[in-house]
Amino acid sequence: QQALPNVVILATGGTIAGAGASAVNSATYAAAKVGVEKLIAGLPELSKIANVRGEQVFQVASESLTNDNLLTLAKRVSALSKQADVDGIVITHGTDTLEETAFFLTLTVHTSKPIIVVGSMRPGTALSADGALNLYDAVSVAGSKDAAGKGVLVTMNDNIDSGRDVSKNVNIKTSAFSSQWGPLGMVVEGKNYWFRAPVKRHTMNSEFDIDAINALPPVEIAMGYEGVSSIAIDAFAKSGVKAIIHGGTGNGSVANRIVPNLQKARSDGVIVIRSSRVADGFVIRNAEQPDDKYDWVVAHDLRPQKARILAMVALTKTSDTKELQRIFWEY
């Protein structure tokens, strides 16, 4: 229909495409089973709010996605966003790493058209399945003009969150996704209600462009905890990683016995990025560790898995630690 927006659904798998043996299987089921055509056919309400078509990009549980998958998906989103007959794009995705893909897309796809990443916590076969409404909301937001220019968004549980800020914070409830900075708005019965806008650089305003990125450098994460050894850090450094994200305790603190190992990694050319395993808050430069002296970078408010995404993207352009720190403040 002419008056309706054209929305493309890129399906990648996850619970939103999951199926269980019975309606009471809300947690025991197989992810990534239902194809995109069936997802669309199962939600006839979509045809009232958009001209929807689907593409099956992958059919996987999101914990198994690779860097190559990220590149493939982002390049497809970028190509579609340049088409005059596409007004918005929805990506259906497993929830386990949804926040990583959403952040990657918001850093690298140059468009102001709405891009929405969506998943569900229960398979479509379960009682009170959440996928249908989440997908309806995603298509609705993707087709609305007021969602343009806000970066990649996530619609889960009636909220509209920033793809940069949002994380999976509960692993078993439909209220799984939230951000310490709050949602940008809510979507109710096909209408968007906005309350805030992102201030970090994204999409049109990003210096990174997926059309120019063909490979991502290896970046690994080492956790901090009582009794931590240097085994992981030494192995990562030896393997040739370009950066190590240290998911430290508290304010990004680092056990004194592994500081020399991280210093050695840095002097061998590995970028060291301090983040925190604590869900909320942020890491302050030169607090806990002398970052200036050691030539380390801090991850601002990004959790280790989000810091890894930004590090990979940033390292496609620079390995200068001052530049990397600027990037971590700005994105």
Comparison of 65 and 160: residue with beta carbon closer to ligand GLN: 65
Q: Residue 91 in contact with residue 116, Cβ under 8 Å?
A: yes
Please report whether residue 119 would count as binding ligand GLN according to CB under 6 A.
yes
26 marked as binding residue:
no
Burial 104-121 (b: 16+ CB within 10 A, else e): bbbbbbbbebbbbbbbbb
Q: Which of 107, 121, 187, 241 binds ligand GLN (CB under 6 A)?
A: 121
95 marked as binding residue:
yes
Please report whether residue 175 would count as binding ligand GLN according to CB under 6 A.
no
Please report whether residue 183 would count as binding ligand GLN according to CB under 6 A.
no
Site for ligand GLN, residues 28 to 57, rule: CB under 6 A: 31
Amino acid occupying residue 217 = P
- Say whether 95 is catalytic: yes
Q: Could you give the CA distance from residue 186 to residue 256 in angstroms, rounded to a whole number?
A: 45
From 90-98, 179-187, 206-214, 313-321, give the range in contact with ligand GLN by CB under 6 A: 90-98
**Number of residues this chain uses to bind ligand GLN (CB under 6 A):** 12
Please report whether residue 61 would count as binding ligand GLN according to CB under 6 A.
yes
Name the residues that contact ligand GLN, by CB under 6 A: 13-15, 31, 61-63, 94-96, 119, 121
Residue ranges for the binding site for substrate? 62, 95-96
Residue ranges for the binding site? 62, 95-96
Name the residues annotated as catalytic.
15, 95
